[in-house]
Amino acid sequence: MAQTGIKDIVIVGGGTAGWMSAAFLSRIFNSEGSASPMRITLIESPDIRTVGVGEATIPPIIFFNQILGVNEADFMRRTQGSIKLGIDFVGWQREGHRYIHPFGAFGAPINGVSFHAYWLRARQAGLKADISDYSLSAQAAYKGKFRLPNNDPRSGVPNVNYAYHFDANLYAQFLRGFAEARGVRRLEGTIKTAELDPHDGTISHLVLTDGSELKGDLFIDCTGFRSLLLGQTMGVNFQDWSHYLPCNRAVATTDERVGPPPPYTRATAKKAGWIWRIPLQHRTGTGYVFNDAEISEDEAAHTLVQSLEGRSLVDPWFLRFTAGRRRVARVKNCVAIGLSLGFLEPLESTTIHLIQHGLIKLAATFPIAKIDETSAKLYNEIMVAEVEQVRDFVMAHYVLNERKGEALWDYVRHMDIPDSLKFKFDLFRERGLAIYPDQTVFREENWVAIMLGQGLMPKAYDPVANTLDGARMKQHLDYMRRVCAETSDQMPTLDEFLRKYCPAPFVAPPSPQKA
């Protein structure tokens, strides 16, 4: 690390964000052959429990694990992991309606034109097939099937995109072992204050309740909703987005697995919010995200318990949150990772993604000194854009609902929305275009899935799709639909895959967590 003056990194807080940070930074700076290993210390308090609701992920997690170099099967065994091919949305457009947001593309482009443009053209000519018929991930998900991708381009076999369901607490433990093996020092203690350097305003050191001090060059804030360093010490204001995302509470539990685990997360709309179901190998994580102005804690807990498919394994516990983000993610020598930066409800499983995105972009803009305004400005612009992109995507599910006569759903359907989201709706409504600026995590295929799934049918389609002969277009669509059906039929069930690839011993579910 000859090009940076940063020699000591202090990570404040454990849990998923803390240990992902420790594992990633130790992999970047302290791998075998490193010229000048970084001193990395993680401090966590035994009195503060982590928020462990983020058990569902999206495909970028595979890239993160590949950076670390972890063995996938071992990781899945040790975290009770299972496979996720998308999210099943039940009742979001209206009661009784269902659609899936699958990972991966629909069909394949023809002559450089997006597949869904041809599907829209065919629909206008009378085609009845749903867009999900042309997604291998969607077909495999609904059939309960999965197999690992075949990366040999000569095979001619289409692949699915996938992510994971896992126990976030076990993932943190797994990463702790990884990080400590690469020299990360763990301290157990409670922080009394964070002291600033009187000359430049950087964080100088932490004072613990036992009187000891912990110095560092760069401080990573993984203290969750408290945002102890970025929010409280550095004074970065919080931008409240509850007018866009009004759900502010969740009640969660764990129930017994009943039947084979499906390869998807399920999100079921309810009058005051929605219920998630995240199937692991031996249990299912279930929770109700709700607005406390529309329902009491007792009613929310009752609704949750009534939704369980198996026997509850722990008493339900409650979480309180406010949707929004800190104005910036990095100030001087302080960087917020995870909930200390902000929170967007877990509808599209982006909590862990925003942690890893923050870490990867931190490495790409790593400071050369305690104060590095150039890289800090770039980092903040990247993180603000990413969080706002996720915000728009989550909001789209709510805004496009048709659940009339329910206060929460009526409000979000008619609320004012950011210009960035209105622009996306207008483009898709008028011409079926979903090629939007700043597409990093959610791209064209993701927006197409949500727009069509929520019932926003474009008035027209990309006119370039008219350049293909109608018979050839039908031939291509028929072929893609047949390939998705036949390939998914030939896959083993997810249960069979898990038993052969990564069978996990039963692990008792975690105790209720405190927010």
Q: Residue 10: phi, psi to the nearest 5?
A: -115, 120
Residue 185: which of 8, 352, 36 has the closest Cα? 8
Place of tokens 């909703």: 225
Q: What is the DSSP letter of 126?
A: T
Residue 116: which of 448, 478, 427 has the closest Cα? 448
Residue 6 φ/ψ region, left for φ over 0, alpha for ψ in the -120 to 50 degree band, beta for the rest: beta
Question: How far is Cα 311 from Cα 429, in angstroms, rounded to an integer?
Answer: 44
Question: How far is Cα 124 from Cα 138, in angstroms, rounded to an integer?
Answer: 23
* Residues carrying an active site annotation: 84
Task: Please give, one letter per residue, the 3-state secondary structure of 280-296.
Answer: CCCEEEEEEEECCCCCC
Please work out, in degrees rounded to the nearest 5, the angle formed at the alpha carbon of residue 174 by the alpha carbons of 170 and 176.
115
Residue 68: which of 31, 14, 13 has the closest Cα? 31
Residue 96 makes CB contacts below 8 A (sequence gap 6+) with none
- 414-449 in b/e form (b: 16+ CB < 10 A) is eeebeebbeebbebbeebbbbebeeeebbebbbbbb
Say how many CA atoms lie within 13 Å of 219 toward its Cβ. Answer: 27
- Record the tokens describing residue 20, joined without a space: 């992902």
Residue 493 makes CB contacts below 8 A (sequence gap 6+) with 144, 145, 146, 260
Q: What is the DSSP letter of 77?
A: H
Please work out, in degrees rounded to the nearest 5, the angle formed at the alpha carbon of residue 413 by the alpha carbons of 412 and 417.
70
Please work out, in degrees rounded to the nearest 5, the angle formed at the alpha carbon of residue 231 by the alpha carbons of 226 and 237.
120
Place of tokens 């069978």: 503
CB neighbourhood size of 33 (10 A): 4
- Which contiguous run of DSSP H or E holds residue 318? strand 317-320
Strands lying side by side in the sheet with 86-90:
98-102, 86-90, 265-270, 273-279, 283-290, 249-256, 317-320
Say if strands 330-331 and 334-336 run parallel, antiparallel, or are unpaired: antiparallel
Identity of the residue numbered 302: H
Say if strands 185-188 and 39-44 run parallel, antiparallel, or are unpaired: parallel
Strands lying side by side in the sheet with 334-336:
185-188, 39-44, 8-12, 218-221, 334-336, 330-331
- Record the tokens describing residue 306, joined without a space: 């009534």
